[in-house]
Structure 1
């Protein structure tokens, strides 16, 4: 079976779990072509050098001083939109006529979803992002743009799929949509093979593991660690000031996973991947989400609601005291979390794939594209340069002045 797998390229979370799924599919006889960009390509060049991938360009999140800049993100998206759209449009036909996929999978990557919906190929979405829009309870936004910009992006990037796998460690807080035409399946988060293996050697150590990458947080983390001289810390990702209770480590995937499996707790942001892996390893979490990124606020909120750790909007010493005081309670709650590697997800995915007939690409769509698209393309280009482009340039200038 030939599969196209679209993967969001901002951050490492999407490509990390997708690589696991891709390897699983290939072991089961599938041929997979990956569509990704940015961090996705960097990760594949290190971890999966034999991957068959194509750089499609795509949406990225802009940060400044450790805060998501929503207007700047939107501005950069608009600025690159014409070129990205043209490149994707050309590759659209290449996939249609040369590769002819039987199935499309997507991890929060819109181009692959649009392709599937347009040509009538079965679509399976696999992600956690949609959770933001279907929770029974939600955290308060710290700003209007934080929440609604995130929801807007999710609504733009998510097409209704034949099957939608929602990855969640807090399924009891998900309010499932009543739409019956599309199958929604909640499964535990996808865990990397390395984490599954290291879990066999996990133990409760005497130190708190810190993983943060934003340089703007150095001063706050230094202050936090100084306020608790009796607590041992091991830090990855930042150039912190070493002292008796703080050890700084250069990043190494192998060493980081070893420390993750042997720590007594984790200080991190609200990223879904590390939170999920910490929960899998039964490690209490002190989560400080990146400001302006509402999805991280939601993940952090769910950690606290499930009793797996403490959420904090800042590196508050009072919040960290609460975390340390309740750390044994968090461990008890984590013991009740059951996940048998990725077996539930794997079995459900294989069952779905077994129902799909290879060669199911709708020939009606092919015929339509061969005859009609060249005419439509020429007229769209004419309309764009005559009507849209002047307005587009004006809006870009206006946004630049705002930023």
Structure 2
């Protein structure tokens, strides 16, 4: 059968989440014909693996530890035109390709694509805006949810807790590429402190601080998203296919507030210290959902404050691990792949 996946976003989380579903789907449908519509990071990752439909991109100009909503909107003055172009491109392609199933990951224009299912992770009940910019984001995002409901679109939501499907919401377990039993351990990276920045540039300031203070710890730091090499710290700027092997080997994880990064760490029962990007409502909602099982820090801490926070986190790691071990988790990638396969056949 034929499948179209629309996968965008500027970081790793979107494409790793969807690839985990695609890999499960290919086991169910050995003759699956898959096309991926994408741009940016997703395009760079998938272009050598699948047939690609290249979309016009949304840009995030910031490289600091916070988003500036109105600056982002200003620098995307062509967004309406690009959205219309992408919508028309997809519809034109669908008339020729005739997919049996269409899935989109967090791409707003996909709401208007006929028979398209949506994979999102934002949950309104965890959203608690405390300033005007966050309130504006909440109104904007939840207007998309309202529109999706009016159009009868199904929204698939990975969730830490087991939830009942309500209206057009379909809940699944956390979306994981592989379970711990399917991943080998890297002996040379055992008991490291793993720092995952998710592929965007928003965490570079945090990475620089961690690199600078790493000498004050009797720990080995492994950073993904920033290239560096010191006595206690090694960093990789490029995405690594075997990231989960590093995850299985480490003792704790420091990350931003991305859903996929936190989901994988929690599923592997690794204590997490999350630093959500300033002024990004989606990441605030993510850490709110996971707050009973992770530690949360301020991404703008000074180096001295960050050192204290990380030491406190490491000291409490065993307690966090015990709490994580009480969780009963299921892999949402299996559930979603089965749903897609059944719908495509029907």
Distance 1:52 1:35 in 2: 9
Does 2:118 correspond to 1:125? yes
RMSD across aligned positions (CA): 3.1
Provide the rounded CA distance (Å) in 1 between the counterparts of 2:63 and 2:185.
Answer: 38
- Once the two structures are TM-superposed, the CA of residue 145 in structure 1 deviates from its matched residue by 0.6
Give the Cα separation in 1 of the matches to 2:272 and 2:334: 25
Paired residues for 1:289-304 under 5 Å: 289-303=276-290
2:87/2:113 contact within 8 Å kept: no
* Corresponding residue for residue 155 of structure 2: 164
Number of corresponding residues? 329
Distance in 1, matches of 2:128 and 2:83, equals 34
Residue 285 of structure 1: how far off its partner (Å): 0.4
State whether residues 210 and 235 of structure 1, in contact with CA within 8 Å, keep that contact through their aligned partners in structure 2. yes
Q: Is the 8 A contact 1:279 1:334 kept in 2?
A: yes
More helix by share: 1
Please state whether the residue corresponding to 1:67 is helix, strand or coil: coil
Task: Report the CA distance shift for 1:5/1:346 in structure 2 as closer, same or farther (over 3 A).
Answer: closer
CA distance in 1, matches of 2:233, 2:212: 15
Shift of 1:261: 1.1
1:76 and 2:42 equivalent?
no
* Residue in structure 1 matching 2:218, options 216, 230, 238: 230
Question: Map of 1:259-278 to 2, 5 A cutoff?
Answer: 259-278=246-265
* TM-fit CA distance, 1:152: 1.0
Contact 1:104-1:112 within 8 A present in 2 as well: no
Instruction: Please report how far the alpha carbon of residue 37 of structure 1 lies from its aligned counterpart in structure 2 after TM superposition.
Output: 1.4
Instruction: Give the TM-score normalised by the residue count of structure 1.
Output: 0.71
State the Cα distance separating 1:277 from its structure 2 match: 1.1
Residue 24 of structure 1: aligned partner: 24
| Structure 1 residue aligned with 2:42 | 40
Structure 2 CA distance for aligned equivalents of residues 94 and 140 of structure 1: 39
Query: What displacement does 1:124 show?
Result: 1.9
1:72 is displaced (CA, Å) by 1.9
Larger radius of gyration: 1
Q: In structure 2, do the counterparts of structure 1 residues 208 and 91 end up closer, same or farther at CA, with 3 Å as the change threshold?
A: closer
Q: Is the 8 A contact 1:56 1:88 kept in 2?
A: no
Q: How does 1:333-352 map to 2 (within 5 A)?
A: 333-341=323-331, 342-352=333-343
Change (3 A) 1:233 1:260: same
The structure showing larger relative contact order (alpha-carbon pairs under 8 Å, at least 6 residues apart) is: 2
1:54 positional shift: 0.7
Decide whether aligned partners of structure 1 residues 220 and 299 sit closer, same or farther in structure 2, where only a CA change above 3 A counts. Answer: same
Gaps in structure 1 of 5+ consecutive residues: 117-121, 357-403
Report what 2:234 is aligned to: 248
How far apart are 1:352 and its partner, in Å? 4.1
Q: CA deviation at 1:65?
A: 2.1
Does 2:105 match 1:107? yes
How much has 1:73 moved relative to structure 2? 1.5
Q: TM-score, normalised by structure 2?
A: 0.81
Cα deviation per residue 1:16-66 (whole Å; 9 max; x = unaligned)? 2212323333441443332221111111025x2xx1221122434332323
**Which sections of structure 2, spanning at least 5 residues, go unmatched?**
none
Distance 1:155 1:177, change over 3 A: farther
Counterpart contact for 1:4–1:33, Cα < 8 Å: yes
* Structure 1 counterpart of 2:267: 280
Are the equivalent residues in 2 in contact too, given 1:9–1:41 (CA < 8 A)? no
CA distance in 1 between partners of 2:310 and 2:129 (Å): 21
CA distance in 2, matches of 1:201, 1:277: 15
Distance change >3 Å, CA 288–CA 34, structure 1 → 2: same
Cα–Cα, structure 1 residues 99 and 254, in superposed 2: closer, same or farther, change >3 Å?
closer
Higher deviation after alignment, 15-24 or 34-43: 15-24
Report deviation, 1:103.
Answer: 2.9
CA contact (8 A) 2:179 2:268 kept: no
Q: Secondary structure at the match of 2:276?
A: coil
- CA offsets per residue over residues 306-351 of structure 1, 9 Å max, x none? 32x2101134344334322321121112112233444333344444
Q: Mean alpha-carbon deviation: is it higher for 268-277 or for 341-350?
A: 341-350
